[in-house]
Structure 1
Amino acid sequence: MLSYSISTPIQAPIGHVKELFTADLLLRLSPPFPRVSLKRFDGCLKDDTVILEINLVFTKVTWSSLITEDKSTEDEWYFIDQGVKMPFGLHFWQHKHRVKRTSDGACEIIDEISFDTRIAFLNYLLFPFLWGMIFYRKPFYKKYLSLVNPL
């Protein structure tokens, strides 16, 4: 199993960020390739389901996740999506989406990922792709979630 985290500072309070964590944001966060379409988005609460269809030119694959936990306090909001049906030989996927207050009017998004294919070589082969998929989100988080223009 491999784990990693990526952190992005946001110039907005937690409540603002939480309101904008929607299906629209998920689609904006998707990279241009492979193309992703959203088949189902219940939300970010426990027992919600998210289903994506990934178009790999010659085939389409489904990635579905179940929200297994969510919690909201004054200083932090998070939810965990657990892979149910995953492509690329993945047997385990867990993504904890954390939004942590850093000061009044500012927070930090922390994406904590754990995944496993059950084959160490394949884990390391997929790591750059899976890391890049989350790292790609950083400028979009800042653009769409910050109250001040980060550019």
Structure 2
Amino acid sequence: MKLTLSTSVAAPLARVWRGFDATLFQKLSPPFPPVRLLRFDGSQRGDVVSLELNFLFFKQRWISEITEQAEVPDEIYFVDQGTRLPFFLTYWRHKHRLIRHGQGTLIRDEIEYRTPLRVLDYLLYPLLYAQFAYRKPIYKKVFDPEG
């Protein structure tokens, strides 16, 4: 299943790229499930991000590795690939694209995921959409001058 969301911000590409750090990552975490950042190496190839998701009655570990990272004149991107996922996911690939957009930047989240059951892919879609839509005002607050 694929999911794509885009957010336009006023900050230039280089500034947005510098802002993709552990502090931003923690701001982007939605209220539920609460996320504890266990490890954040960065957004370069080979870096690892490790999280603990707290679902109240149980916790799940999520580990992703940055498998790709590239910079071209009008775009910077990196891909995190799930290596250890919560029980409800069997595959996770998230491409974070930062695209020059006039004087600002378009932040595009391109997610591909799978669950153990195709019907669960569809049931999870609105939840994941909401989780990533939650990021839009945070991106604006962090990267827009008036934010």
2:66 paired with 1:67:
yes
The one-letter amino acid of 1:141's match is Y
2:115 counterpart residue number: 117
2:127 paired with 1:129:
yes
2:31 counterpart residue number: 32
Q: CA deviation at 1:89?
A: 2.0
**What secondary structure sits across from 2:111 in the alignment?**
strand
**What secondary structure sits across from 1:31 in the alignment?**
coil
2:104 paired with 1:106:
yes
2:82 paired with 1:89:
no
Q: What CA distance in whole angstroms lies between the structure 2 residues aligned with 1:27 and 1:71?
A: 23
Runs of 4+ in 1 over 6 A off after TM superposition: none
Query: For the structure 1 residues 60 and 138, does the alpha-carbon distance in structure 2 shift closer, same or farther, using more than 3 Å as the test?
Result: same
Q: CA deviation at 1:58?
A: 1.1
**What secondary structure sits across from 2:140 in the alignment?**
helix
Structure 1: any 5+ residue segments left out of the alignment? none
> What TM-score results when the alignment is normalised by the length of structure 1?
0.94
- What is the percent sequence identity of the aligned residues? 45
Structure 2: any 5+ residue segments left out of the alignment? none
The count of residues paired between Structure 1 and Structure 2 equals: 147
> What TM-score results when the alignment is normalised by the length of structure 2?
0.96
Q: What CA distance in whole angstroms lies between the structure 2 residues aligned with 1:120 and 1:51?
A: 26
Q: What CA distance in whole angstroms lies between the structure 1 residues aligned with 2:71 and 2:43?
A: 11
Q: CA deviation at 1:88?
A: 4.0
**What secondary structure sits across from 2:142 in the alignment?**
helix
**What secondary structure sits across from 1:33 in the alignment?**
coil
The one-letter amino acid of 1:3's match is K
